[in-house]
Structure 1
Amino acid sequence: MFVGSFWSLVPAIIAIVLALITKEVYSSLFVGIIAGGLLYSSFSFEGTIQHVFVDGMIAQLSDSWNVGILIFLVVLGSMVMLMNRAGGSSAFGWWAINHVKTKAGAQVATIVLGILIFIDDYFNCLTVGSVMRPLTDKHKISREKLAYLIDATAAPICIIAPISSWAAAVTGFVDGANGLTLFVRAIPYNFYAILTIVMMFTLTFAGFDYGPMKKTVLEIKPDESDFRKKVASSITGADDQPTPPVSMKGRVEHLVVPIVVLFISCVIGMIYTGGFFSGENFIDAFSNSDASVGLVYGSVAALLITIVFYVATKVLTFNECMNAIPEGFKSMVPAILILTFAWTLKSMTDSLGAKDYVAGLVSGFAGNSAVISMLPAIIFVVALFLAFSTGTSWGTFGILIPIVVGVFGADLANELMIISISACMAGAVCGDHCSPISDTTIMASAGAQCNHISHVSTQLPYAITAAAVSFVAYILAGFIKSWFICLPLGIVLMIGTILVIKGITTKEA
């Protein structure tokens, strides 16, 4: 009765509506899951419990691909905690404050550090603000501007980095295709993330701000005293501890080396699973890789190398390294919970035949190429609105990506499917970037020690500008279907828009 009909979409719709109303994703996803179980079992209590927990949650957590993604996230959380406690981030900030001599240089250094920490947005927010705050204070850059630079190099960087917690999450939501290959192919179409980076550099080198950001000033006196201890305390929240757990012996290489090792080892792990060492060429091996297994191989190897590196260079003892590992696990619990619920919701809609129903609906539009070509731009707006309302990109991925795959099919030869998946990711990041209830937005405020509402209000015009240009780029991409053309056009349009705004604000002044 309910299978293969409109009712198959009801669990996802319930999750979306509740997320918009409650601004809370965990309970919304769970209620959607229960609704799916009730529909599948025709409202049988025993059948619902069986389908939700055995066929759904337990089955998803028993799936080898999903388990691999969860292991990668746990190991990644442990590495992030180790890098924090080794003091490499504070060492980078100490180096920067002694070598960067201009206001533009301070902003560029902040952006570069944000780009360098691409593996996780939480790690990014927790370190960049704490490390760069004394430097930006020295050059009288407002805390609101620092918060924007932190926020704009957190999620937007992670969503275009193939070795990151975000890439792992996205690949876990894609069924029927190589999720990592899809993620990599979607990167050039992730207009919001790329154009946000372009916008930051353009604003920095053009030397101006606009909107509420233009009126912000640094309201505190810069203080460079005892820099490294202050950074260590702010990273760990250990201000009241006599001996903060961040090492004072850390150097820049204690940040850079683990990140480089993680990237290289994960690439090696993935091409190994794709048959590179059995004769396949690099491209085919990467495309055919088992990302879940490859990321586990690479991350575990990187974790072991990092521990040996830290112990050998005496920045952390072996016991300190071991103590950091469970703390890193704890930091990933919210991400793991969202993934578990999203996977289970997806299994509910799959069992109700949502893919077949949606595919049948879309086939009715097959003759109208204009409507189909506009879908990426529409998906971008829907994802933006959902992520803004709920404050979570990952929850938006879990709800929308399976629907997008159901609309277009898991066909990597379909360029419009690639564009639409990227539009979903870009819209989710944009909404997360704008949302006052987003965890990354809140952490960016905390990292910069900036009033949260002030951060949101000053960042919003910048995010809306990038979103508007991205929307136009997705309209073009839907019809042209080539990032070689659309991405350069988007970059030119972004730079041009900023320069026009500068001209207008200069005349008004």
Structure 2
Amino acid sequence: MEHGALSLIPPILALLMVMFTRRVLLSLGVGIIVGALMINQTQDMMINESLNLIISIVTGIFVVDGGINTWEFYIILFLLILGIIASLVTLTGGARAFGEWALKRVKTRTGAQFVAGLLGILIFIDDYFNSLTVGNVSRPFSDRHQISRAKLAYIVDSTAAPMCVIAPVSSWGAYIITIIGSILVTHGVSQYGALQAFLLMAPMNFYAIFAILFVFAVAYFKLDFGSMRTHEQRALETGELVDKSKGAVPGGNDDMKPLGNGRVGDLLWPIATLIVATVIFMITTGIQGTEGEKSILATFENTDVAAALVYGGLVSLAVTVVITILRKIPVKQFSLGIWSGIKSMLPAIYILVFAWTIIEIIGELGTGEYLASLVNEHIQIGYLPVLLFVIAGFMAFSTGTSWGTFGIMLPIAADIAAVTDINMLLPVLAAVLAGAIFGDHCSPISDTTILSSAGAGSHHIDHVLTQLPYALIVAFISIVGFLVLGFTTNVFLALLAAAAAFVAVIFIVNACIRGIYGKAEQQ
């Protein structure tokens, strides 16, 4: 059954409930139930059928054709492994030692935020890996500089997906290049290949570029406003890194006390092992999955990211266990550390399962197809990039999946460009990529947003609400760039216009903050 505009009801209802109730699981649950009832509205036993649908979807997340659905299962397994590693590193004193080491070298709060941002740029292989690793590595020194967890989650989230979407050697890059390749073949475009097209589109992805730059601008100019300012002021004045009125962060293991005189290596060795081993397994699984000629692009196109994360995580866990044994941690405390690590990741897993379920419900309702149908060729060509940016943004926001948005919107954007002006192909494809990342940043049901909260140790709703204004500002800057790109098709002029808007926004926001809060607080 076609639901048209009504297909927007479940995601919008869930999003509104999240913002007003600040109870993520309850809100997602209501969206799931409403969506299931809509799907089965013509059934005689609507409630029973709806419950059966929900059960089948949740079961289908983990079981397909009688076997394990390895992607979702491995992602959850990796979360549990990473939670255990983080807990044991805390237990051995490695996290504390790293915090003390970093405190001697990173002298300011601005410097600590810069380091977290640079880590987000450097670890670009995969967004899941980025969000969880950067958050866990950065926490020791960001906590010492009294940076709120909401601020850390913003830094992590706003460098993870934006870097992955413009890096060709990443799980995202391989996926996008594969789609682009089929688009080029379909429309007979031969002047550039898929990889070259991806590289040409990278400077047109204004949202990804300026989201990363804005992270450093926010840190340097102290552009904290709205609820982000509330969190930062609380952290500075009271040392409370999270809003304690909401209770402890679900699954947080901040009460885990170090039992050993840890060393910096107790944290760095597990993390370095995790990074190296994961990359090795990504290459290995990619080679195994590649038929015919082997190449770097083909390897990353066919890599099994979820499996690589689990294999790399297990190797890192083995190293962590050895370090724990060498530090002579008692068996009882070792067992409690493992359980604490598992508990720390359970809230993120609950939210992920609910988010995956509502994404399936939304897919059944045809929400993505309805949003895509709003785009047609009967519009001014110059407005195409902006329109596709907005549509892709709203689709990713509503569905919680940027990859799903890529899969639906990139072919549609290419079809429109083929009908109107084939020279607009790369600009409209870049607009879709940028819009999907924007919507992903705003959506509380986005898995990357959920994992950024988990990695940083932030209340999920706090991360969503504090990041939203910053994402909207970068979206405005991106719209300026896409307007110029649409009417000139000149990438340099478009980048220049977006850069000018970026500078103007920083100046205006900084002036407003000084005017509202006073110059004294900016010192």
Q: TM-score, normalised by structure 2?
A: 0.65
- How far does residue 37 in structure 1 lie from its aligned partner after superposition? 3.5
Residue type of the alignment partner of 1:266: M
2:45 corresponds to 1:45 = yes
Report SS of the residue matched to 1:154. Answer: helix
Which residue, 286, 304, 311 being the options, matches 2:300? 286
- CA deviations 1:313-336 (Å, max 9, x no partner) are 446889759757754763423213
- CA deviations 1:72-93 (Å, max 9, x no partner) are 3123203321331224544432
Please name the residue that 2:69 is paired with.
67
2:380 corresponds to 1:374 = no
The two structures, once aligned, show a CA RMSD in angstroms of 5.4
2:353 corresponds to 1:343 = no
Please name the residue that 2:152 is paired with.
150
- CA deviations 1:139-193 (Å, max 9, x no partner) are xxxx5xx4564132122223235499xx9899999x98999x99x8887665444
* 109-118 vs 330-339, which moves further: 109-118
**Distance 1:116-1:149 versus aligned 2 partners, 3 A rule:** farther
Please name the residue that 2:422 is paired with.
none
How many Å separate the matches in 2 of 1:67 and 1:94? 42
Residue type of the alignment partner of 1:9: G
- Pairing 1:345-494 to 2, within 5 Å after superposition: 345-349=362-366, 355=369, 362-363=375-376, 365-366=377-378, 368-370=380-382, 372-379=384-391, 382=394, 395=400, 397=402, 404=409, 407-408=412-413, 415=426, 416-417=428-429, 419-430=431-442, 462-477=470-485, 486=494, 490-491=498-499, 493-494=501-502
2:288 corresponds to 1:272 = yes
**Distance 1:151-1:21 versus aligned 2 partners, 3 A rule:** closer
How much identity, in percent, do the aligned residues show? Answer: 16
How many Å separate the matches in 1 of 2:30 and 2:501? 41
Please name the residue that 1:26 is paired with.
29
2:305 corresponds to 1:305 = no
How many Å separate the matches in 2 of 1:177 and 1:161? 18
Which residue, 160, 163, 177 being the options, matches 2:162? 160
**Distance 1:466-1:159 versus aligned 2 partners, 3 A rule:** same
Matched residues, number? 452
- How far does residue 96 in structure 1 lie from its aligned partner after superposition? 1.0
**Distance 1:265-1:399 versus aligned 2 partners, 3 A rule:** closer
Q: Which consecutive unaligned segments of at least 5 residues does structure 2 have?
A: 19-26, 183-193, 241-247, 419-424
How many Å separate the matches in 1 of 2:514 and 2:106? 28
- CA deviations 1:193-237 (Å, max 9, x no partner) are 4323312323545x55476759959754889xxxxxxxxx99974
How many Å separate the matches in 1 of 2:456 and 2:371? 41
How many Å separate the matches in 1 of 2:269 and 2:444? 32
* 262-271 vs 301-310, which moves further: 262-271
Report SS of the residue matched to 2:294. Answer: coil
Please name the residue that 1:261 is paired with.
277
- CA deviations 1:349-406 (Å, max 9, x no partner) are 39xxx85x7777655x35653454332332266369x57xxxxxx7365996676468
Asked if 1 retains the 8 angstrom alpha-carbon contact of 2:121 and 2:163, the reply is no
- How far does residue 493 in structure 1 lie from its aligned partner after superposition? 3.9
Asked if 2 retains the 8 angstrom alpha-carbon contact of 1:192 and 1:426, the reply is yes
How many Å separate the matches in 1 of 2:62 and 2:488? 40
Q: TM-score, normalised by structure 1?
A: 0.66
- CA deviations 1:285-341 (Å, max 9, x no partner) are 433x1x5xx124312321232133223444688975975775476342321331133
How many Å separate the matches in 1 of 2:353 and 2:175? 11
Please name the residue that 2:211 is paired with.
196
2:38 corresponds to 1:35 = yes
Residue type of the alignment partner of 2:349: M
**Distance 1:127-1:220 versus aligned 2 partners, 3 A rule:** farther
Asked if 1 retains the 8 angstrom alpha-carbon contact of 2:98 and 2:141, the reply is yes
